[in-house]
């Protein structure tokens, strides 16, 4: 099991979601903590992954040496890759 850190913007985004969707996102984060490679690796980024939850995406980095998964961004499918 990996430790999870969640960026403030990602946490705020989750808090604004309706309860069922927020629960699905949090359940997905638990799955990621258990197996970080369950998401899809991003092209040209060795330790960066995305995890699909319906129309939402969770972007995260995996730090193998410290066993930490950093949730970088949570957003809708159309907005997740915008800065």
**Percentage of the residues of the chain whose pLDDT score is greater than 70:** 95
Q: Which pLDDT score is estimated for 83?
A: 65
Domain 3-76 grouped into CATH 3.30.2310.20: yes
Mean pLDDT of 33-50: 87
Distances in whole angstroms, Cα of residue 33 to Cα of each of 10, 26, 42, 78, 81: 16, 11, 18, 25, 22
Average pLDDT, the chain: 91
Please give the model's pTM, rounded to 2 decimal places. 0.88
CA–CA separation, 22 and 43 (whole Å): 27
pLDDT digits (tens, 9 = 90+) for 50-77: 999 999 999 999 998 999 999 999 999 8
Provide the residue ranges of all domains of the chain, joining segments of one domain with +.
3-76
């Amino acid at each position: 099991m990996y430790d999870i850190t969640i960026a403030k913007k990602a946490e705020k985004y989750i808090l604004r979601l309706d309860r069922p969707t927020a629960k699905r996102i949090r359940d997905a984060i638990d799955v990621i903590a258990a197996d970080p490679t369950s998401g899809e690796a991003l092209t040209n980024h060795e330790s960066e992954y995305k995890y699909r939850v319906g129309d939402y995406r969770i972007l995260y980095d995996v730090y193998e040496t410290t066993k930490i998964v950093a949730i970088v961004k949570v957003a809708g499918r159309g907005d997740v890759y915008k800065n």
